[in-house]
A and B are shown apart, each in its own frame.
Chain A
Amino acid sequence: MKNVKAQYRRYTRSSWGNFFYFFFLILFGLFSVLPMIYTVCTSLKPLEEILIFPPRFFVTRPVIDNYTALPKLLSNLSVPLSRYIFNSLFVSVSTTVLHIFIASMAAFVIAKVKFKGSQTLFMLIQFALLYNAYTLAIPQYVIFSKLNIIDTYWVYILPYLPSTLGVFLVKQFIDSSIPDALLEAGRIDGAGIFRIYYQIALPIMKPAWLTLALFAFRDIWSMQPAGTIFSEELKMLPNIMSTISAGGIARSGSAMAATVILLIPPIIVYMVSQGSVMETMGSAGIKG
């Protein structure tokens, strides 16, 4: 048995195979990260390098002026910058957390509680995912105004919560990794269905909801609602980008600097969530 364990997964590749394997991975990786590198490079360019013709991709003489100019550029906003930061963090974090709970709870019930119509509901969820979002904007707007949530935090949060992608992802994950037998053990111990969800299923579903967290956070963090938020004090950080870009090409370096700063939170969430998804390797498999 020990022998088999040591040998499984050690399927070897030819040296050419190895070469192409790493060549392809690295090439594709570099190609994918280009826009991010470009953004960082441009944010470090002095004005004369931004205006240079022909344009250069990399920065030759990096400066941090574009970053140090930001506080002054943002000093005359009608609402203090801290308010935008608060709005962005508050809306993104609360929506992400609520979404994870609502979606994973629903997915768990659909997957593991036998009730009439669960199959139909699940098909409905999958098909709703396919409907063109643009066309739904008008009816959704009517609903927002009927509910009186236009120009409140709710209009950011509530419509995102039933995002069907989340339920679909977590349900599929449960189907492939949580056998009924495991829940039966909880039932024999006398645990109610909510406790089984919270204490047994949620920890096993961690890779799924961490992935969902990343996805939701990224979506909401960059959200710029059209026509549903008017009060300046309710707007989020992407909105200050227009204030900076209004300075024209002379400010394009600072606009890039702001873009880089706005990229940091999603990257942190990415690193934390994916780092921890990767960590679950091997331990997540359910025995038996």
Chain B
Amino acid sequence: MKVKSLKTRGSSEVRTGLIMLSPFLILFFVFTVLPILSSVVLSFTTYDMISAPKFNGISNYIKMFSSDDMFPNVLRNTLVLAIITGPIGYMLSFVLAWMINELNRTARTILSFLFYAPALSSNVYFIWQVLFSGDSYGYINSALLSLGVVSEPIQWFKDANYVMVIIVVVQLWMSMGISFLSNISGLQNVNPEMYEAGCIDGIRNRWAELWYITLPSMKPILLFGAVMQIQSSFSIGAVVTALAGFPSVNYSVDTLVTLIQDVGTSRYEMGYAAALSVFLFAMMAVSRVIIGKVVDAIGR
């Protein structure tokens, strides 16, 4: 009798649950899954957006690795940017959230607002354009000139040596986004009793507390932040186009994302753009799997 009642409750719960899930499920399928599937299918075709797609097997993928001169370059830039800005940006967004967590509410709200400001502002790149402007009116150039460090203004965005560094700095400066906010709310939600219990168990400094209590109890939030970080650091593109233009000097900072947009928008090769997207996705998916293992190991 008891077993039966549990079972009926279970199945009715699943039924109600699926009804609650259905709005998301339907919209997710229509607006996300279907477009992704079509994009994957398109990657095996030639498609100029005017005539119907023509199946061409894996020739888009062959082209990527054998005859596209830009591809090795943008692949290297994408990886360099992801490997530098990914981990640093991620740690920064956690460390800052953690640092302000011990302040009082007003100080926390104000500081978190300041850190989040680049994500709210609509003209974020502008400030960097004025700072690093290539003529002597740029703030950095005019400072260097008046100090006598340089004799003529430096073309910051036209010099392959500088432009990569600038892009990395700007990207890190903008990394206080959704993972920063989720870290704040995750830290808020750590049960205070855990800290008390930790104190009884012999934890005597904030680093041990961080490693053995704080981090393990917010693992799911850490994973969320890591996935968002993978997404943003592999998808650097807008900042490159805004600051370095397209194409950047000698393609020194162009990424897979700017290449995809160029191939799609100005060359109308949607099939090839789709193949590049599939490849980019594969790299992110691999990183996601690795990150999952890293987050699992926290606090051990």
A and B physically associate: yes
Q: Which residues of A contact B (CB under 8 A)?
A: 4-5, 7-9, 11, 21, 24-25, 28-36, 38-39, 53-55, 57, 102-103, 105-106, 108-110, 113-115, 121, 124-132, 134-136, 138-140, 142-143, 147, 158-159, 161-162, 164-165, 167-169, 171-173, 175-177, 187, 192-194, 197, 207-208, 210-211, 214-215, 218, 222, 259, 262-263, 266-267, 270-271, 274-275, 277-282, 284-287
Q: Which residues of B contact A (CB under 8 A)?
A: 9-10, 12-14, 16-18, 20-21, 23-25, 27-28, 30-36, 38-39, 42, 49, 96, 99-100, 102, 105, 108-109, 111-124, 126-127, 130, 136-137, 139, 142, 173, 176, 178, 181-182, 184-186, 188-196, 198-200, 204-206, 209, 217-221, 223-224, 227-228, 230-231, 234-235, 257, 260-261, 264, 270, 273-274, 277, 280-281, 284-285, 288
By Cβ-Cβ distance, the 8 closest A-B pairs, closest first, are: A285-B191, A113-B17, A29-B114, A106-B24, A207-B185, A172-B220, A139-B35, A162-B27
Are the CB atoms of A136 and B39 closer together than 8 Å?
yes
Instruction: Give chain A nearest CB distance to B208 CB in angstroms.
Output: 9
Collect the chain B residues with CB atoms within 8 Å of residue A30's CB.
114
Collect the chain B residues with CB atoms within 8 Å of residue A139's CB.
34-35, 38-39, 42
Selected from A129, A193, A218, the residue in CB contact (under 8 A) with B16 is A193
Selected from B14, B24, B209, B273, the residue in CB contact (under 8 A) with A102 is B24
**Closest B residue by C-beta to A135:** B277
Q: How far is the CA of A113 from the CA of B228 in the complex (A)?
A: 25
Collect the chain A residues with CB atoms within 8 Å of residue B121's CB.
35-36, 39, 263
Q: How far is the CA of A126 from the CA of B28 in the complex (A)?
A: 12
Are the CB atoms of B31 and A158 closer together than 8 Å?
yes
Collect the chain A residues with CB atoms within 8 Å of residue B231's CB.
129-130
**Sample of 23 A–B contacts (CB below 8 Å):** A9-B195, A11-B204, A29-B114, A35-B123, A36-B117, A57-B130, A130-B288, A132-B281, A134-B257, A135-B39, A135-B264, A136-B35, A136-B39, A138-B42, A139-B34, A161-B23, A162-B30, A171-B220, A193-B13, A211-B182, A263-B122, A270-B113, A284-B188
Are the CB atoms of A215 and B181 closer together than 8 Å?
yes
Collect the chain B residues with CB atoms within 8 Å of residue A134's CB.
257, 260-261, 264, 273, 277
Are the CB atoms of A173 and B39 closer together than 8 Å?
no
Q: How far is the CA of A262 from the CA of B124 in the complex (A)?
A: 15
Q: A129-B231, A271-B113 are known contacts. Are A7 and B178 too (CB-CB below 8 A)?
A: no
Are the CB atoms of A135 and B193 closer together than 8 Å?
no
Q: How far is the CA of A198 from the CA of B21 in the complex (A)?
A: 14
Are the CB atoms of B35 and A32 closer together than 8 Å?
no
Are the CB atoms of A277 and B219 closer together than 8 Å?
no
> Most chain-A CB neighbours within 10 Å: which of B20, B185, B190, B196?
B185
Q: How far is the CA of A262 from the CA of B274 in the complex (A)?
A: 35
**Closest B residue by C-beta to A126:** B227
Collect the chain B residues with CB atoms within 8 Å of residue A162's CB.
24, 27-28, 30-32
**Closest A residue by C-beta to B24:** A106
Instruction: Give chain B nearest CB distance to A199 CB in angstroms.
Output: 14
By DSSP majority rule, is chain B's interface helix, strand, loop, or mixed? helix
Q: How far is the CA of A218 from the CA of B96 in the complex (A)?
A: 22
Are the CB atoms of A35 and B181 closer together than 8 Å?
no
Instruction: Give chain B nearest CB distance to A35 CB in angstroms.
Output: 4
Are the CB atoms of A25 and B111 closer together than 8 Å?
yes
**Closest A residue by C-beta to B284:** A130
> Most chain-B CB neighbours within 10 Å: which of A54, A271, A280?
A54
Collect the chain A residues with CB atoms within 8 Å of residue B24's CB.
102-103, 105-106, 161-162, 167
Collect the chain A residues with CB atoms within 8 Å of residue B277's CB.
131-132, 134-135
**Closest B residue by C-beta to A34:** B127
Q: How far is the CA of A197 from the CA of B186 in the complex (A)?
A: 20
Are the CB atoms of B120 and A218 closer together than 8 Å?
yes
Collect the chain A residues with CB atoms within 8 Å of residue B108's CB.
278
Instruction: Give chain B nearest CB distance to A158 CB in angstroms.
Output: 6
Collect the chain A residues with CB atoms within 8 Å of residue B130's CB.
38, 55, 57
> Most chain-A CB neighbours within 10 Å: which of B32, B100, B194, B217?
B32
**Closest A residue by C-beta to B110:** A29
Are the CB atoms of A4 and B200 closer together than 8 Å?
yes
Q: How far is the CA of A175 from the CA of B191 in the complex (A)?
A: 14
**Closest A residue by C-beta to B234:** A130
Collect the chain A residues with CB atoms within 8 Å of residue B25's CB.
106, 121
